[in-house]
């Protein structure tokens, strides 16, 4: 169960984010990329730690997303940078599924 102080944002119906796809969710200044990896949903900050590019525009392959600007890669499960030029991880965010709806927390893990 989520702590009472967390804010959950609706990311959409599970059909809105098919396997292998990414959906951008915005809340104020926060941009979160919600990723579907074979039916499991993960959320990372939508900013490449190398140069600030938008990760939601990149290719999701398995559990890694590639920044479209310079090819840096990140593991969407952990946020870890897996390919240079990025070396710093991206924050991850909790996901919950209620019925057929996907929700993402605005509070990073």
| Cβ atoms of 41 and 60 closer than 8 Å | no
Q: pLDDT tens-digit profile of 2-57?
A: 444 468 999 999 999 999 999 999 999 999 999 999 999 999 999 999 999 999 99
Strands 22-27 and 8-13: unpaired
CATH of 18-92 given 2.102.10.10, 3.10.450.200, 1.10.3720.10, 3.30.70.890: 2.102.10.10
Q: Residue ranges of the domains in the chain?
A: 18-92
pLDDT at site 56:
97
**Residues 71/53, Cβ–Cβ less than 8 Å:** no
Tell me the whole-structure pTM to 2 decimals: 0.91
């Amino acid at each position: 169960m989520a702590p009472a102080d967390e804010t959950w944002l609706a990311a959409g119906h599970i059909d809105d984010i098919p396997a292998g796809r990414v959906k951008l969710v915005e809340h104020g200044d926060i941009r979160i990329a919600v990723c579907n990896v074979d039916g499991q949903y993960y959320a990372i900050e939508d900013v490449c730690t190398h140069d600030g590019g938008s990760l939601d525009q990149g290719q999701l392959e398995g559990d890694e997303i590639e920044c479209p600007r310079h090819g840096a890669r990140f593991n969407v499960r952990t946020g870890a940078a897996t390919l240079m030029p990025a070396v710093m991880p991206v924050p991850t965010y909790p996901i919950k599924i209620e019925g057929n709806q996907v929700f993402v927390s605005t509070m990073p893990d």
